[in-house]
Structure 1
C-alpha cells in the first residue's frame, strides 16, 4: 500500500522485518495511548498534549461526540486512519486495514455490495456493522408466552441503527485499489476498549481455539469447559479471540456437517484402520434402505487380549444410547493385572434375539471361533436366547451388580434403611459356598423380613442358578468378575464417554482416547511388575517364588493367602488312601472357623481344596499353601501357575486366522519425531514468554523476533491455508464422503436404554407429576444420607448436622 502524497503517514502498522504485513486485530489493539474514563463513555478527541505510547500500551477510553451530540467521530492515531486516496495492493489489504482501524476505535465491520467483472472485484463497500435496518419481516410482534404460536421465533437483539459510516474503494488501471470516498462519523456510541473484543468482526475462532476444542473433545471435555481452559491459558477473556458461544457455534456447525454422513464416516474410518493394520476387524449390516442395523469392531490389541484372556468376559448392553438410539454393547475381559480390558464392541439398533445372534457371531468370527468359558451379562431374554444358540458351550451367568442394585426399590419402605437387612442379604448371597447353604440362608432371610410373598425376590430365587456365586464355585475362573466394585468401575469407565447426544464420529474420537488411556494403565502396570520387586512379608520360599512369577496385583492376593496360611491355618488330621492324602485344615480366619478338606496326590503333588478358591479365581488358597509347606515344597507346582497371571503372559506373538500378527500398528518414527519437535518447540516458546513477560523490553524483543521468524518461515516455505472442511477432516481422521450409502435412522422415538434395569430413583423421577406454571410440586425422594423417602435431599438432611 502506498499513500497519495509524500506527507501522508503510512496507514499500515507492521513488524520491521515485514513492513507490508497488516497487523492482526489482537496485536493492533495495543498501538494507541488513551486515557481511562467511566465505562459509560465512548470515545472523544484526544488532548493535543498527549503523546502516543509504545506499541504495546493499553488503549484508554475516550469520549467522542459531535457539536450537536447526534454523531460520533472516531479518534485514533493518524497512522491507522483511512483517508480518501489511500492505495492498496489488493482487496484483502483493504479489508484488513479497515478492520484494524475499526477495532481501535470501537465499531464492527460488515462487507457491503461489490461489482465483479471476470471474477475481478472492480469496486466494493466496507460498512459499519450497524448500517441499515432490520427487514420488516424480522420486526413483527411475536407472542413469546404462547407456546402454540405458529409464528414463534428465537429472540434476536436488534443491532442495525442506520449508521452510514463506510469506505468505498475502486480498482484503477494498474490493478490497485483506492479509497474513493468515505463517511467517518457514526450515529451510535462507539464500543469502549474493555468491550472491543466482543465486536463480531473482531472475533474469530483461532487455530489455537480449534485445536484446543478438538483435543478437549477427545478427552470428553465439552466446548464450554474448553473455552474456560483457553481463558486460563491466555489469562484473560479478551485474549481468547472469541466468545464461548462462538466456540459452541463452531462445534455445532461441525456436528451439522456430519449429521447426514455420520454412519458412513464411521465405517469409512474402520476401513482406513483396516488398511493400516490388517488385523483390525469390523463387520456391519444394513437394511434394504441402507440404514445401519448392526456394527461390530475389534482392533488387533483387543483380539490379542482375547487370545490370552478368553476364559471369562462380561457383555453389557445397558449403556446409554447415542443420538440415533443405538445401543452400545462392549465385550470386556480381565487381564493379568486384574484390570478390565476392552475386547470388542458393537452398536445395535434393535435388541431382538436376531440382533444379538448377529453380534455374537461377528464376535466369534473376529476371535477365530474360540468361545469364552464364562460370559456374564445383564438380564435380557433375547440375549439369553442368542447365547444359547451361538455359544452353547459357554457358561452364562447374570451380573450380580445389576441385580443387587435393584434391591432398594423392591423392598418395603421400612427395609430401605434397615442396615441389618442388607447385612443378612449380602451374607446370604456372597458368603454361601454351596447351593444348599444358600437356599437355607435365603429362606431364613425371607422369613425374617417377611418377604416370602415378594414377587421380585421369588423371581430371583427361581433363577438363582444363573447369578448366585454358590452355583459357580466349580466353574473355572467364574469368580473373577463376581465383585460389584469391578462392575461399577467398568460401568463408570464407559459412561464417561457415552452421551445421549453423541454422533458416531464423536463417540469414536472419545472412545479411542479412552481406550488409549486404558491401555496406558496396563503399560504402567507391566513396567511396575517387570522392573520392581514387591516387599515380602514372610521368610517362606514359596512367597518369594510367587513374587517372581505373578504380576504385582495377583501377587498381592497370593501373599494374603500365604500370610493367612502362616497365621490362621493348621493341619488337624491326615488320612492316607493309596496315593491320596486327605487332610483336614482348620481356618481360624473364617467367620465360622470352618475346617477345609485338602486332597493331596502324592505322585503328582497336585492338591484340591474344598474351598475351591483356585478353581474359582485361579489363586492358590491358604489351605493348600499350608499343606505344601508341611510337605516341604518350597516352590509352587506348575499346576498352580496359570499363564494368564504371569508377568510375561503376553510375550508370545499371536496371529489371526489369516496369518496377520495381532499387534499394534508399527511405530511411525517420522510422526514420533515430529510430535517430539512440536513438544520441544512449544515448551521453549512458553519458557520464552515466562522469561520475557516481566519487562516491557523483553516483550518487545520477543515480539520483534517472532515477526522476523514469521517472515523467514513465510519466505522459505509454502504456507497452505486450510479450509474449515480440511480442519474438520483432520480432526476426525477421515474425509467427508462424496457418496453416502450407509444411513442413520430418522424419526425414531427416544426410547432410551429400555433393557436397563431401572433404579428406584429413575422410577420416582418418571412418576413425578408435571409442574404447572406458578405451582410448586414437592415429591418425596430417597435421601442419600438417611436413606429415607422424605422431602429433602442429602444436602439438607438433618442427620448431617
Structure 2
C-alpha cells in the first residue's frame, strides 16, 4: 500500500533529489511516501457523492486528509468538456499571508505610538505536498472514475487524525443531532460522546463541538441583540412579558415573564403563593424573584419569574403589580408566604391588601439561632431555649401563647438580649404571621415555610449550571424546565384519578377515590388516627384541619364512621377536587373588551399628540408587533480596571448564610436532633465550614483602655490582627469566623460582587 522512497539516490526517473523539494515546496525533505496503490481502482462510481465518500474513506484508512482542491462542472456541451474534481492532500500548496484590517490598524497605531507589538501567533500546515487525484465524469449519466496523478507525499503520514479540522468536521446528520441535543440542554462533552458512539471512526474534537454550537446560536440570533432575541423567543412561545427601562439608552431595569400554561395553572390553584429571591443566575447580577404555587397533588409549579435590578420596594411593587394583572377578581391569592424581606413585605401589603401574609418559620428559626445561639455557653441550655421557642410558636390559641410566653420569659430572664431580640424583631410586629394561634385561622393548606421556593431555586440552578448566562440563554433553560414541570403535573393528576393505594381503601373514602387528590386522602387518613383520643367532641378536636385545609377533621370523620356513611365529596374544598389544568368558566369573568371602540378612542387620542410623542408611540407599537425591532438593551457589564484580572466565578452555589457560620463557630447544630439515625446520602456541606476555623487568634485586653469610657462596658473580647496592609480584610474574616488568615477570601468576594 505504501512505499518509502529514499530520495538521496539521483537515479530516479522522477528526478527527485536529496534536498530538493517536491512539488515546488519550500520544505526540504529526505524521504517521501507513495500511496499510489491505495487509490488505484477500476471501479465506476454511480454518483459524485459515492466518489467523494470512497476517496475520503480511503484517506482515513491511511491516516491522511483528502480535500477538494478544484472542481469543474464542465460545459454545456458535455462532449467537449467533462466535469472534473481535483483532490489533494490538506498540506498541498503554500501559505499565503492575508493582511487583515485589524492588522493594518495595529500597524498604523504602532507607527504613531512607536511601540512594538508582539507578532500574531500563527502557523500553517502547508508544505507543498504533491499528492493529487483526479475524478472524471464518464458516460452520459452521473458516473465517475478516479485517476491517480501523483500518489507521493513529501511528509510523513499522520499518526492520528484527531486535531485535523477537515476530517473532524461533522456530517449533516451529526450536525442535526448536535442541534437537537443542544436545544435539549445537553452538555458538549455528552454530545461528543454520543456522536462517537454512533460513529467509532469519528475524530471530532471538543473544539469542533464548541464551534458548531456557537455557529448554531449565531445563526439562530440572525444578528439580533440579546434583548431582541429574548423578546422574539417570548413572543414565539406566547409568553406574557413586561419590562421597564431607564436612561436614554433604554437599558432594561426590570423584566417579568411567565408561561401561558402556568397562567392557567395559577387560575386553577391561586390559593397559596410562595415568593423568594435567588442570586447568581445571570451575568448581569440581577436578583431573580421566583414566584411558585402548589397544586392539589402537592406539586410545586412556577407562577412567574421577575428579574429586578434592586431589591427595593419599588421593584417588588412593579413585579407584583404585573403579577396581579394575570389574575381575575376571583383568583386573588388567599395566602402569600415569604421570608422577612421588609421591602417585599411592604409591596405585598400595598398590592394585595386582602391577602394573608405569612412568614417562613424555617427562616425565622435560623435567624433566632444566628442571633441567640452565641449568648449560650452550654449546649444543653441552648437546646432548652430553642425547644421552648418552638413550643411558643406552636401555641394553638392566644391564651396558650400568652401563657407560654410568660413562662418562657421568666425561665430565661437572665438572657435579656435574646428576649429583647425575639420581642423587637419577631413577636411585637409579626407574631400574627408565624405563630400557630393566628396562622391556623387561615386556609394555608399546610404551607408555612418558603422551602418550596428554595427547592425551585435549586432545580433552576442545577439546570443552568452557570452564573454567567445571558437573558436569552437563561430563558432556554427556564423554558425547558417549565416543559418538564407541565409533564410532571399532568402525570400527578392522572395518578390521583387512576391509582388506588392499598392504604387508602377505607370505607369512608369510597366516594372520594378517583375524584380527590391522593394528597388529600393521605391527610384525611392521618387525621382519622386522632379519633381514638378525640371522638366526636368538637372542643377536643379543635377543627384545625377544617380551618387550614378545608378537609374533614377528626370529629367529622368520627360521625361519618359511626353512622357507616362515606365522606361526601361536597365537604371537600374544590381545590382538592381539581385534577386538571382547565380553567372553569366563572360568573365573575370580565366582559369582552370592546376592541373597535378602544381603537377609535386611541386614534382620536393619538391625533392630538405632538409629533415626537407620535414617533415614540409608533416605536412602542412596532415593538409589540415585531419584538426584533426593540431598542431595549441589556445592562452594561461592569469592567473592573483596578487590580489584576481575576477568574470569573461561574458557580451558581450560594454563599454560606449567617446561621451556617454561627453553627460552624459553635461546633454544634442550631436545632436539636430528635434521633441519632445516620443521615442518608452525602453529608451536608455545612459540616465543612468548621474546617475554615484554623489558626484562631488569641483574645487580648491590651487596647481596651484606649476606648472611650462610654463603650468599654460593651467590649467582651478584643483581637489584635496582623498589620500588613490587609488588616481591614483580616478584621472582617475574623468577625465572620473564618480566621484572619482567610482574608484573601473576603478580598476575592468583594471584588466578585463589586
TM-score interval (norm. to shorter): 0.5 to 0.7
Let me know the Cα RMSD of the aligned residues.
5.3
SS of 1:412's partner is helix
Distance across 1 between alignment mates of 2:252 and 2:449: 36
Q: How far off is 1:181 after superposition?
A: 10
Change in 2 beyond 3 A, CA 1:532/1:362: same
| Corresponding residue number in structure 1 for 2:458 | 492
Change in 2 beyond 3 A, CA 1:107/1:538: closer
Residues 136-151 of structure 1 aligned to structure 2 (within 5 Å): none
Residues 741-760 of structure 1 aligned to structure 2 (within 5 Å): 741-748=631-638, 759-760=657-658
Change in 2 beyond 3 A, CA 1:382/1:444: same
Change in 2 beyond 3 A, CA 1:475/1:293: farther
Change in 2 beyond 3 A, CA 1:95/1:293: farther
Distance across 1 between alignment mates of 2:216 and 2:344: 36
Distance across 2 between alignment mates of 1:642 and 1:385: 31
| Corresponding residue number in structure 2 for 1:340 | 300
375, 380, 395: which one pairs with 1:432?
A: 395
**Aligned: 1:282 with 2:213:** no
| Corresponding residue number in structure 1 for 2:211 | 249
* Unmatched tracts of structure 2, length 5 or more: 6-21, 23-27, 76-82, 104-114, 594-625, 640-647, 666-682, 695-754
355, 361, 379: which one pairs with 1:400?
A: 361
Q: How far off is 1:549 after superposition?
A: 4.2
Q: How far off is 1:100 after superposition?
A: 4.9
Change in 2 beyond 3 A, CA 1:281/1:742: same
| Corresponding residue number in structure 1 for 2:65 | 108
CA contact (8 A) 1:373 1:395 kept: yes
1:735-788 alpha-carbon deviations (Å, 9 max, x no partner): x98755332122236999999895159979xx9xxxxxxxxxxxxx99755984
Distance across 1 between alignment mates of 2:119 and 2:315: 43
Change in 2 beyond 3 A, CA 1:475/1:332: farther
Distance across 1 between alignment mates of 2:590 and 2:686: 52
| Corresponding residue number in structure 1 for 2:606 | none
| Corresponding residue number in structure 2 for 1:554 | 520
| Corresponding residue number in structure 1 for 2:226 | 262
Change in 2 beyond 3 A, CA 1:228/1:408: farther
Distance across 2 between alignment mates of 1:495 and 1:437: 45
Q: How far off is 1:189 after superposition?
A: 2.3
Distance across 2 between alignment mates of 1:756 and 1:377: 19
CA contact (8 A) 1:168 1:182 kept: yes
1:86-114 alpha-carbon deviations (Å, 9 max, x no partner): 99999x99977765554343233567799
**Aligned: 1:315 with 2:239:** no
472, 476, 492: which one pairs with 2:442?
A: 476
CA contact (8 A) 2:267 2:583 kept: no
Distance across 1 between alignment mates of 2:654 and 2:427: 20
TM-score normalised by the chain length of structure 2: 0.62
Distance across 2 between alignment mates of 1:228 and 1:437: 66
CA contact (8 A) 1:317 1:378 kept: no
1:197-243 alpha-carbon deviations (Å, 9 max, x no partner): 54221112344444444444454432123323444x4274x34x522
CA contact (8 A) 2:497 2:515 kept: no
Q: How far off is 1:271 after superposition?
A: 2.1
**Aligned: 1:273 with 2:241:** no
Distance across 2 between alignment mates of 1:321 and 1:207: 34
Residues 562-573 of structure 1 aligned to structure 2 (within 5 Å): 562-566=528-532, 568-570=533-535
**Aligned: 1:532 with 2:499:** yes
Q: How far off is 1:185 after superposition?
A: 3.7
1:656-677 alpha-carbon deviations (Å, 9 max, x no partner): 75769xxxxxxxxxxxxxxxxx
**Aligned: 1:72 with 2:35:** no
Change in 2 beyond 3 A, CA 1:636/1:269: same
Deviates more, 1:640-649 or 1:359-368: 640-649
SS of 1:367's partner is coil
CA contact (8 A) 2:178 2:191 kept: yes
Change in 2 beyond 3 A, CA 1:311/1:366: same
1:677-719 alpha-carbon deviations (Å, 9 max, x no partner): xxxxxxxxxxxxxxxxxxxxxxxxxxxxxxxxxxxxxxxxxxx
* Unmatched tracts of structure 1, length 5 or more: 1-33, 35-42, 47-65, 139-148, 275-279, 572-582, 585-596, 599-608, 661-735, 768-780, 793-801
| Corresponding residue number in structure 2 for 1:684 | none
Aligned length: 578
Q: How far off is 1:522 after superposition?
A: 2.0
CA contact (8 A) 2:276 2:453 kept: no
SS of 1:366's partner is coil
Distance across 1 between alignment mates of 2:504 and 2:575: 24
**Which structure carries more helix by proportion?**
2
CA contact (8 A) 1:95 1:126 kept: no
| Corresponding residue number in structure 1 for 2:545 | 613
Residues 631-780 of structure 1 aligned to structure 2 (within 5 Å): 632=563, 634-636=565-567, 640-646=571-577, 648=579, 653-654=584-585, 657=590, 739=629, 741-748=631-638, 759-760=657-658
Q: How far off is 1:340 after superposition?
A: 0.9
| Corresponding residue number in structure 2 for 1:709 | none
SS of 1:72's partner is strand
TM-score normalised by the chain length of structure 1: 0.59
SS of 1:190's partner is coil
CA contact (8 A) 2:508 2:560 kept: no
Distance across 2 between alignment mates of 1:627 and 1:250: 69
373, 381, 384: which one pairs with 2:342?
A: 381
Change in 2 beyond 3 A, CA 1:405/1:757: farther
Q: How far off is 1:365 after superposition?
A: 1.1
Residues 11-50 of structure 1 aligned to structure 2 (within 5 Å): 44=3
179, 190, 194: which one pairs with 1:225?
A: 190
| Corresponding residue number in structure 1 for 2:741 | none
CA contact (8 A) 2:278 2:290 kept: no
